[in-house]
């Protein structure tokens, strides 16, 4: 089988010609001294064209970046000019010192040695084979000149390279933080989330600011400004390099995209160039006064996934707007060179802004995940529903970017707002939301499903209730906190986030809110169960009054308050049912229990809110009266006795008449009587009431 013939490639031909050309330059040949200028020029031109063709085949003409081979070819051609024009020595310095360094070092300073090496090679060859020393005196001087001029001419390219390095470092940081988020062992690093967020923001600001300075150099502009879309369908300044002449005229705030130069740029396919303007003829919205601008260049920057032809389709696809101006007329000409520079500039700017967005998403992700983790950890240390509400609201505001308000509703008999934070939801605490309420929360209570929207509604329904008076709310998210009991979803709480910005509660934010809601459901369920257990441990199982242990604790607290000047006195009334044993013997113990429950209800309903009633034991009850003197205590005790006697207590055996005997004692401020002595006095007074014939009230003061 015959092997396929491999034809020489353009690069192979170019390397061969370069070799022959350098041999011709360095070594003496029979052609030296002949006036073959057309042949020399034809050879040099052919080699240069071939070098350009090789580079174009690699990268395309629009993004042409000449290679090192091209520069070697260029200086070989310069060497050819030197060899031809030795008789015109004055012309040689002009070629080497002006023309070639300018074309070379505006590209890449790393190649500064190439012209010096070519000149040194030619000079050495002429000296060795022709004993000519004319070029030797220029070689060292030209090397130093190339170094200095190359550094000056390539400074913009160096700045551009530095910006690319910063951009790459920023991108690497974003990727690194992304991996650390996925790594469970990286929580210690994530604890520095605030520092990471601030550092990323500052580095992004410095990057964009430096890039706009670079843009001014590339476009030969006086000022450069980058505007990005804001929350109100306008644009705000993100980075700016402004001339000192009107730096104080730059104003903050939103710039409309529906009119003015941004609107004109969108109508012209994303690019607007206006030259030779009269000062003040065009109103530039981000300058507070007329400035001496004669030329402006405006370019719409779109994301890499959208084409330039789509730039005007919607603000969601526009990453930003680049603006340049100059005080010179005709500073910006719409030609291929300008468009090429602008394309490269905007492409890299787009990449930088994408990287910044990635960093913000990463830091927001860090913040939300750490906030949720901290919330879950704090809930393990509390069983207080109000504390759970505070922590949940705080977690929502910390975890969701641009969320400026949150509300926590607890489903405890009624769905009630127990805590809120943020100016837009002030005054909601304590509001009860019935399930049949015509509002967003009422709908959620009925359907048990989340409600999320992120735009201004055309026919707004109330969020919580019809009479609400809230601030400007654009984005709203209400997430039910559910737990399964007996095969059904039970609503434990409702988490609500609000914001004055649009589209705050995106898919990631809602996902985080669901996680918070799930954690909250379990925490509230535990808190409710604990509260019920605690309530049952404090109450008497038969009557629902405080039990003996709780009575003792309350009495201790009230006595301590007297010592701290919170009260002047208190009284304890001991209550005993008359002839209760006869009721049990006649009607049975179940009816006796009904009598005790009925008596408990009458006692509890007949005292003040600040007083406390407890079952002391058996058929004996105790009442603590706060801030009463002897006369008031006797009056209240007599009222209780009369209420019990006034009508029968309903039982399954019919209404039963009932009377009670009472004894009371007073503890005044400054009295040294102990708690036990106080109880003993009230008990002795009760014994005296029973001894005197029952159905009466006796005070300890009557026994002294």
**Top-ranked range on mean pLDDT: pick from 53-67, 159-173, 369-383, 592-606:** 592-606
Who's near 650: CB < 8 A, 6+ residues apart? 594, 598
**Would you say residue 573 has pLDDT above 90?**
yes
Distance CA 660, CA 579 (A): 9
CB atoms within 10 A of CB 33: 8
Q: Calculate mean pLDDT across residues 98-112.
A: 52
Check residues 683 and 27 and name the one with the higher pLDDT. 683
Instruction: Write down the pLDDT at residue 171.
Output: 56
Are the CB atoms for 422 and 406 separated by under 8 Å?
A: yes
Ranking 97-101, 448-452, 538-542 by mean pLDDT, the lowest is 97-101
Residue 679 has pLDDT above 50, yes or no: yes
| pLDDT higher than threshold 60 for residue 99 | no
Query: pLDDT band at 369, cuts 50/70/90?
Result: low
**433 in Cβ contact with 416 (< 8 Å):** yes
pLDDT, one tens digit per residue, over 304-330 is 544 333 334 444 478 889 999 888 888
Alpha-carbon span 225 to 21, nearest angstrom: 49
The yes-or-no verdict on residue 486 having pLDDT over 80 is: no
Q: pLDDT > 70: what percent of the chain?
A: 64
pLDDT at 62: 40
**Six token digits for residue 255:** 């710039």
Instruction: Supply the pLDDT for residue 47.
Output: 56
Q: Would you say residue 519 has pLDDT above 80?
A: yes
Across the strands, what pairs with 231?
none
pLDDT in tens, 221-278: 888 888 888 766 688 888 888 877 777 778 777 777 777 788 888 888 888 888 877 7
Please give the domain boundaries of the chain with CATH numbers for all domains.
Answer: 10-153 (no CATH), 209-361 (3.30.450.40), 382-526 (3.30.450.40), 548-702 (3.30.70.270)
**Enclosing H/E stretch for 296:** strand 295-302
Judged against a pLDDT cut of 60, whether residue 447 lies above it is answered with: yes
∠ Cα 573 578 579 (to 5°) = 150
Name 76's Cβ contacts closer than 8 Å, sequence gap at least 6.
18, 21, 22, 25, 44, 47, 118
Dist. CA 588–CA 41, nearest whole Å: 131
User: What pLDDT, on the 0 to 100 scale, is given for residue 23?
Assistant: 54
**Helix (H) or strand (E) run with residue 380 in it:** none
In Å, how far are 131, 253, 460, 637 from 456, measured between CA atoms? 87, 21, 8, 62
With cut-offs at 50, 70 and 90, classify the pLDDT of residue 51: low
Pick the more confident residue, 413 or 597: 597
In this prediction, residue 697 carries a pLDDT of: 95
Q: What is the pLDDT of residue 496?
A: 94
The encoded tokens of residue 120 equal: 């040194």
Please report the pLDDT score of residue 209 as a whole number: 81
Maximum average pLDDT range among 8-12, 160-164, 412-416:
412-416
Of the candidates 566, 454, 581, 427, the residue with the CA atom closest to the CA atom of residue 508? 454
Share of the chain above pLDDT 90, in %: 22
How large is the angle between the packed helices 548-563 and 675-691, nearest 10 degrees?
120
DSSP state of 436: T
The Cα–Cα gap between 355 and 203 comes to 11
What is the rounded average pLDDT of the residues 594-619? 92
Confidence of residue 185 (pLDDT cuts 50, 70, 90): very low
């Amino acid at each position: 089988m015959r092997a396929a013939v491999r034809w020489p490639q353009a690069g192979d031909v170019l390397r061969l010609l370069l070799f022959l050309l350098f041999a011709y330059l360095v070594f003496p040949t029979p052609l030296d001294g002949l006036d073959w200028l057309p042949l020399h020029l034809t050879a040099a031109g052919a080699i240069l064209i071939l070098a350009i063709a090789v580079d174009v085949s690699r990268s395309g003409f629009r993004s042409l970046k000449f290679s090192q081979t091209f520069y070697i070819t260029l200086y070989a051609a310069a060497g050819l000019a030197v060899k031809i024009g030795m008789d015109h020595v004055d012309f040689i310095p002009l070629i080497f010192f002006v023309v070639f360094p300018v074309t070379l070092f505006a590209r890449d300073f790393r190649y500064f040695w190439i012209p010096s090496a070519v000149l040194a090679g030619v000079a050495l060859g002429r000296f060795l084979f022709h004993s000519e020393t004319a070029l030797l005196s220029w070689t060292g001087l030209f090397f130093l000149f190339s170094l200095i001029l190359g550094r000056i001419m390539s400074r913009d390219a160096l700045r551009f390279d530095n910006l690319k390095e910063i951009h790459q470092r920023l991108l690497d940081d974003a990727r690194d933080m992304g991996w650390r988020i996925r790594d469970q062992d990286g929580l210690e690093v994530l604890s520095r989330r605030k520092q990471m967020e601030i550092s990323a923001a500052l580095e992004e600001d410095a990057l964009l600011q430096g890039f706009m300075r670079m843009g001014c150099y590339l476009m030969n502009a006086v000022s450069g400004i980058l505007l990005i879309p804001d929350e109100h369908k306008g644009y705000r300044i993100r980075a700016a390099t402004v001339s000192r002449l009107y730096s104080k005229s730059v104003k903050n705030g939103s710039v409309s995209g529906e009119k003015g130069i941004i609107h004109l740029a969108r109508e012209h396919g994303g690019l607007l160039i206006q030259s030779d303007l009269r000062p003040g003829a065009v109103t530039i919205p981000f300058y507070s006064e007329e400035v001496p601008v004669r030329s402006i260049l405006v370019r719409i920057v779109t994301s890499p996934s959208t084409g330039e032809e789509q730039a005007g389709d919607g603000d969601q696809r526009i990453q930003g707007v680049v603006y340049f101006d100059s005080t010179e007329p005709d500073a910006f000409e719409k030609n291929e060179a300008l468009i090429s520079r602008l394309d490269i500039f905007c492409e890299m700017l787009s990449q930088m802004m994408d990287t910044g967005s990635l960093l913000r998403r990463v830091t927001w992700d860090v913040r939300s995940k750490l906030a949720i983790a901290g919330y879950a950890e704090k809930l393990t240390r509390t069983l207080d529903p109000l504390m759970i509400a505070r922590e949940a609201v705080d977690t929502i505001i910390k975890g969701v970017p641009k969320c400026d308000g949150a509300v926590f509703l607890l489903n405890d008999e009624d769905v009630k707002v127990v805590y809120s934070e943020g100016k837009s939801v002030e005054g909601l605490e304590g509001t009860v939301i019935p399930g049949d309420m015509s509002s967003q929360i009422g709908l959620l209570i009925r359907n048990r499903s989340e409600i999320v929207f992120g735009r201004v509604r055309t026919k707004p329904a109330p969020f919580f209730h019809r009479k609400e008076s809230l601030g400007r709310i654009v984005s709203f998210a209400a997430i039910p906190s559910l737990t399964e009991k007996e095969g059904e979803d039970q609503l434990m709480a409702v988490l609500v986030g609000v914001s004055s910005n649009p589209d705050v509660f995106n898919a990631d934010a809602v996902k985080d809110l669901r996680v918070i809601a799930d954690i909250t459901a379990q925490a509230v369920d535990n808190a409710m169960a604990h509260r019920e257990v605690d309530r049952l441990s404090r109450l008497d199982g038969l009557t629902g009054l405080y039990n003996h242990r709780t009575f003792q604790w309350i009495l201790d607290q009230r006595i301590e308050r007297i010592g701290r000047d919170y009260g002047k006195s208190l009284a304890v009334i001991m209550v005993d049912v008359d002839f209760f044993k006869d009721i049990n013997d006649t009607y049975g113990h179940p009816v006796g229990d009904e009598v005790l429950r009925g008596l408990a209800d009458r006692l509890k309903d007949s005292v003040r809110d600040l007083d406390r009633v407890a079952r002391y034991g058996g058929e004996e009850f105790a009442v603590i009266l706060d801030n009463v003197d002897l006369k008031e205590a006797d009056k209240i005790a007599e009222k209780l006795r009369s209420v019990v006697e006034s009508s029968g207590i309903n039982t399954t055996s019919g209404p039963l008449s009932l009377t009670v005997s009472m004894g009371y004692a007073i503890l005044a401020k400054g009295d040294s009587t102990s708690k036990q002595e106080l109880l003993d006095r009230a008990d002795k007074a009760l014994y005296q009431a029973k001894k005197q014939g029952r159905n009466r009230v006796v005070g300890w003061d009557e026994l002294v």
